Amino acid sequence: MLETRSSKRRKLLSKLCNEETTQEGEEVNTDRISDLPDAILHQILYLLPIKIVAQTSILSKRWRHIWLSIPDLDFTTSTPISNTLTKMHSNKGKKRLHAQPSTTGTDFICNVLALRDKRFSDIRILRFRAHLSFTHLNRLIRLALRRNVQELDVEVATNESFNLPRAIIRSGTLRVLRLKSCYPGLWLPPVSVMTSGFRLLDTLSLSLVILERQPTLLDLFTDSSFPVLRKLSLDACFGLKRLKIGCQSLKELSLENCFQLIELQISCAKLEHLRIASCFNAYGSNTRVTIYAPRLHIIFWEYNALTEACNLDNLKALHEASVGFFLLHEDVGPEKFRGVSNLMCGLCHVHSLTLESQCVEMLSKNNHLGITLPEQFSNLRCLELHTGLNRNNLGGLARLFKISPSLHTLIIKILNDYKTERKQWNRDFWDVPVTGGERYWDSQTALLKSFLHNLKSVKIHGFSEGENEISLIKFLLKHGKALREMILCSGQCYPKDSLRRDKIKSQMRGFSWASSNAKVEFQ
């Protein structure tokens, strides 16, 4: 039997209404939701799929008003990008499968926008993702801009590269723009055109941008072009070689997957959060970075190629930093490692520092590489190291401990690298200091005096009872006068064995402990 319009309306209404039970056990539908203010209903409907929201318009005149006046439209549940993109990528180099852009989803969006009359035309948020032609994309964006959209979040795939719609640049209401393109990407118009707009833009995020025609962007991200920009994210800017960012209102900056970059200049007086990942030309020369950000609070430097020059100026407000590199065999020249030295010295005011395994390895090879570290990390309270903890890395660890006199928390994450030594400790002779690791750490006792007198907490992930691990643990227990806790977490490759753990605990009690308040916990 076909469902009547009235029964369909009642069924939909029951999903949105609360059900109460009388004393006799009978269920009574009470439409409490319809009594809520428009603003509350808008927030509730924004959490539902857009097609369900559209169906509420048949409930009553009130609900039709709600549907037509909802300011936030999220079509991402109704316009998914076709999985034919995966086929196009997998057949790269072969005869390509040309996926035809879909118009079904975009027609629905256009119809929804067209239904909104002058009373309800303004749109606060518009989100959609689709596989469509540039003509359809341009049409959608123009419809949104005519309705004074403030936040535009678009993920689009096309069969060919396309230009950034110029209507976006000229918008007088747009505050937030997130544009993510899939292969083959989008082109930016000339800088002279870009600098004429974006007067009110607060947030800009661009992904997969083709810049082969304009590899140098030194005059785009300035106060004259983006006077109120606070958040900027650039991902996969292909062809970009030189970039300068000087927006003085900028507080958050993310730069990723810019593999051809050879020069980066950042001068932002209010910048607080910086993330640079998988950037710089690993095969090029004269690569350089200059960062002036006196208010910088957090910096993530992840999987970047080495740069020959790196100038981090006046980062006195720095609280958290994470550093990692992408190393090639060619990266052995002293000019490359001067950039590493400058980067590490620029972080001298940091309070919490994380170093990836490449950093520890380079610091351990200092005699060969000549990497300079700051005289002291005077503010450093938390140090996290990712390392294989093999014999060759002990020197790098000792260097870091020596220049961290006020360290309170030490976290070591032991990497399960097949090249890493896994020599097990002879548990029957733990009280006899005969290993090379123990002899090395005992020789460092005087140099690490301040470090040992302030360290309070140690946490080791991936604990596998290796010789080098036990040597370090025994050294810290023996000389750590302020030590309160040591937590040893077994790695996934080393299952927990309660009997063995009890034996280890018993043997550790036989060590010489400098702190009577120290506790060792196994997890």
- Residue 332: what pLDDT? 58
Q: At what angle do helices 61-69 and 38-45 cross, to 10 degrees?
A: 70
Q: Cα angle vertex 104, ends 98, 110, to 5°?
A: 120
Average pLDDT for the chain: 83
Q: Give the pairing type, strands 151-157 and 176-181.
A: parallel
Residue range 144-168: average pLDDT? Answer: 90
Number of domains in the chain: 2
- Residue 311: what pLDDT? 93
Position 226 in a domain: no
E strand spans, 211-277: 216-221, 231-238, 242-245, 252-256, 263-267, 273-277
Structural domain harbouring 57: 32-70
Reported as a pLDDT band with limits 50, 70 and 90, residue 84 is very low
pLDDT in tens, 180-209: 998 788 999 888 888 878 889 999 999 999
- Residues shown for the chain: 523
pLDDT in tens, 320-365: 999 999 887 655 567 778 888 999 999 999 999 999 988 888 888 7
Q: What is the DSSP string of 368-399?
A: HH-----S--TT--EEEEEE---GGGHHHHHH
Position 95 in a domain: no
Q: Residue 307 CB: number of other CB atoms within 10 A?
A: 27
Reported as a pLDDT band with limits 50, 70 and 90, residue 66 is confident
Q: Give the pairing type, strands 18-21 and 27-30.
A: antiparallel
| Closest-CA residue to 328 (of 308, 310, 305, 307) | 305
- 70, 88, 119 — which closes off a domain? 70
- Residue 467: what pLDDT? 81
Which run of H or of E encompasses 243? strand 242-245
Q: Residue 88 CB: number of other CB atoms within 10 A?
A: 19
Reported as a pLDDT band with limits 50, 70 and 90, residue 15 is low
Dig out the tokens for 269 from the structure: 């007086």
E strand spans, 257-397: 263-267, 273-277, 288-292, 298-305, 309-313, 320-326, 352-355, 382-387
- Residue 13: what pLDDT? 57
Reported as a pLDDT band with limits 50, 70 and 90, residue 268 is very high
Evaluate if residue 436 carries a pLDDT over 80. Answer: no
- Residue 92: what pLDDT? 42
Span of 1-5, 139-143, 186-190, 379-383 with lowest mean pLDDT: 1-5
- 70, 94, 119 — which closes off a domain? 70
CB distance 87 to 94 below 8 Å: no
Position 356 in a domain: yes
Reported as a pLDDT band with limits 50, 70 and 90, residue 261 is very high
Position 307 in a domain: no
Q: In whole angstroms, what is the distance from residue 355 CA to residue 396 CA?
A: 11
- 70, 90, 121 — which closes off a domain? 70
Position 15 in a domain: no
Q: In whole angstroms, what is the distance from residue 361 CA to residue 327 CA?
A: 11
Position 279 in a domain: no
Peptide bond into 495 cis (omega under 30): no
Position 228 in a domain: no
- Residue 323: what pLDDT? 96
Count, in order, helices (H) and strands (E) of the chain.
17, 25
CB distance 177 to 205 below 8 Å: yes
Dig out the tokens for 156 from the structure: 């689009």
Position 105 in a domain: no
Evaluate if residue 507 carries a pLDDT over 90. Answer: no
Q: What single letter denotes the amino acid at residue 467?
A: E
Reported as a pLDDT band with limits 50, 70 and 90, residue 500 is low
Q: Residue 30 CB: number of other CB atoms within 10 A?
A: 10
| Closest-CA residue to 154 (of 114, 206, 98, 103) | 206
pLDDT in tens, 380-425: 999 999 998 888 888 889 999 999 999 999 999 998 754 444 555 4
Reported as a pLDDT band with limits 50, 70 and 90, residue 158 is confident
Which SS3 state, helix, strand or coil, does residue 286 take? coil
